[in-house]
Structure 1
């Protein structure tokens, strides 16, 4: 399994610094983060979901993507998709901007998310039908002409939070045109099933794996004496989901998708987390072989 990283977890580094670190660690793949930094986060400390030293806006990605990918390849890396803050209900022009940027950068795929589900019971079949129709439009009229694949992420609070829910959408599409980011850290928060079942459900649709750790923590006890549990990002080895078991399930199913490191644990800086994670994964993968 080849390793890569998402730029989301490296807010402290500019592009050249990110490339140098990835090359030094022997990584193969890099996922772009073309997003607009909110005004309230600018001039604030760097953070995964806030201010980034490498300020890659969607417009800049479209303009400079080809040059950025050339720099990646000069360092022995390949782009594996772009992760904008894009959803299916965004205006067509907004989605085309993201897709054209990825096409110029030869980044091959773009994450476009389904909507979050309502807080109260709702008509799932009706919402699912609408979502499938919209993905059809995006794939056929926007992505396909550019040679770009759409990817959806198994993400908490979204309509694809579990493998089965992701399958309900992606089964209507050719896996070469719509695939899944198999996010193991998100399964810690919501949507977990046994690794062999999760992999078997989505096998051909798994485009890449996002790998992070998570732990359930009892934050407080409510008035009825019930535990109120939250989930925190954790080091891989401390994750409530046993990462070697998940990697073995992917391997046994013949899934060749790259492992993209996406570690948000707060105990280290992004670069130090990445160094630690690569060392951990190299040990796991060598032992498996």
Structure 2
């Protein structure tokens, strides 16, 4: 298994700085965030989803992409993926991301998944999602780049089994699933190995981060104790990453594990080094 980093987690570094830091940490590839930085955020402190300095703009020209391609090439590291925030059904946007991925030499992109917020029935969202994925499959086939959906809380794919239902009629050579145990702390936990076995050939990528539940003060009005999830360090959260990696090995997974830390436990360079060291130790326990 190889180790990559998703640049949403490295907001303070420019592309060339990030590529060099990833190389120093011994990583194998970069997943480039594909999202605009809002104008009001451009002068704000760097942040994961705000002023992220390592983001491909959605309205790009080749000269914009060249910054990212050159950064990877200079550091001798692969552009593994382009990771946008697509709306399901946006075929023009999906193809534009595929064009960017082809220019960078990336092997996969992230596809959009419907949010589930109780405002629309699941059956309607499910049917629309499946249609989108079949359309996206044809584009991915034409571009030679895989499209993946992520197990993510707040969507119709919070679990491995739910994601499988969405992709099961697609060709796993072109459509797959990004398995994210950290997201599944929020919503969607299933036994890790069982989820991987359910996904089978659709298991295309993995993200490494962690999260934990914390208890809130008792509500004085109704006396109910409520809980919330917060991001945590790799070794500090609910996910047992040694077990996850043992299970990945057991099902024969040979893809990438992408670093996506939101804990703020370390600065960016230290975070990359710590994640890489821990993951390597679990990947090669000898």
Deviations 1:218-268 (A, max 9, x none): 122223332211111111111112111111101111011211111110232
155, 171, 175: which is aligned to 2:172? 175
Asked whether 1:40 is paired with 2:40, we answer: yes
Displacement of 1:70 in angstroms is 4.8
In structure 2, distance between residues paired with 1:203 and 1:169: 14
**2:52 counterpart residue number:** 52
1:41-190 residue pairs with structure 2 within 5 A? Answer: 41-60=41-60, 62-65=62-65, 68-90=68-90, 92-119=91-118, 123-140=121-138, 142-190=139-187
1-structure distance, mates of 2:255, 2:55: 28
Deviation at 1:74, TM superposition (A): 4.1
* Cα distance in structure 2, aligned partners of 1:61 and 1:193: 42
Report the Cα offset of residue 194 of structure 1: 0.9
Q: TM-score, normalised by structure 2?
A: 0.93
Q: Deviations over 1:103-154 (max 9, x none)?
A: 111212111111101326x6433321221112212222x3322222211011
Does the CA-based 8 Å contact 1:62-1:97 persist in structure 2?
Answer: no
CA contact (8 A) 2:56 2:65 kept: no
1:12 partner SS: coil
TM-score (norm 1): 0.92
CA distance in 2, matches of 1:99, 1:62: 13
- Please tell me whether residue 259 in structure 1 is matched to residue 240 in structure 2: no
Secondary structure of the corresponding residue to residue 281 of structure 2: helix
- C-alpha contact 2:33 2:54 (8 A) present in aligned 1: no
**Structure 2 gap segments, 5+ residues each:** none
Do 1:62 and 1:100's aligned partners in 2 also have CA atoms closer than 8 Å?
no
Question: What is the aligned length?
Answer: 285
SS of alignment partner, residue 230 of structure 1 = strand
Counterpart CA distance in 2 for 1:218 and 1:204 is: 38
Cα offset for 1:203?
2.7
Gaps of 5+ in 1: none
Shift of 1:96: 2.1
Q: Which residue of 2 aligns with 1:279?
A: 277
